[in-house]
Amino acid sequence: MLTFYFHPTPNPRKVALFLEEAELPFKLVPVDTAKGEQHDSAYRAVNPNGKVPAINDGGTVVFDSNAILLYLAEKTGKFLGDTADRGDLLSWLMFIATGLGPFSGQSVHFQRVAPEKVPYAQNRYLQETERHYGVLNKHLQGREFIVGNTFTIVDIAAWAWVDRAALTLGAERLGEFPEVERWFQAVDARPAVARARLMGQDIEFKTPGDEDSRRALYPSNYPD
């Protein structure tokens, strides 16, 4: 059975949604990143990068959320879209992997987590997050899905980050990108999304905020 290493944050949520959409059986293994469990030697043997999510599929280990989505889609034949749209699928999946996701995460970090205000960094990452939303908003004009005419792993990947728009952009700002908002509401209404949101709700994860959690989450800031 597939083992899914999970924390209730955007990147693992992508995998959670795929598993629910595809109705794949799996074993859920929580990794409490605020406690530093991602740095334990047992987990580092799964993902040497010390991040979540990761999966172990009968001995095949895959880490990085977008790699996992692509692996599972290719294995199951689900949510890959049409063959003719393969270039678009890879392009937009990487747009999320290298753009929308990382800049959204850094925007949250410098607005809400960094111990001191760094106006340049706050502006830089917020502006880039807005720019990526703008690119996606323009692309979605006249489209039901991001790639082709069917729901794909690109919609899954984007959903997990747009779901946090209130944190990454600011409260009530998603409406500034009406095409993204329309697309998000349609995806968010899918039954599998409700099930994915419930995943891990019975598990108590540590709330970040103290020095121990900061050291666990941002170890490169603490070289000692």
First vs last C-alpha separation in the chain: 40
What is the distance between the alpha carbons of residues 126 and 72, in angstroms, rounded to a whole number?
32
Percentage of residues in the chain with pLDDT exceeding 70?
100
b/e code 157-184 from CB counts within 10 Å (16+ = b): bbbbbbbbbeebbeeeebeebebbbebb
Percentage of residues in the chain with pLDDT exceeding 90?
93
- Structure confidence at residue 189 (pLDDT): 98
**Averaged pLDDT, 44-69:** 97
Between the alpha carbon of residue 175 and those of residues 81, 90, 140, 162, 171, the distances in Å are: 28, 27, 14, 12, 10
DSSP for 103-117, please give it: HHHHHHIIIII-SS-
Confidence of residue 209 (pLDDT cuts 50, 70, 90): confident
Q: What is the pTM of this model?
A: 0.96
- Sign, Cα dihedral of 78, 84, 85, 88: positive
Give SS3 for 99: helix
Closest CA to 141 of 181, 98, 96: 181
User: Domains of the chain (ranges plus CATH)?
Assistant: 2-78+195-210 (3.40.30.10), 83-190 (1.20.1050.10)
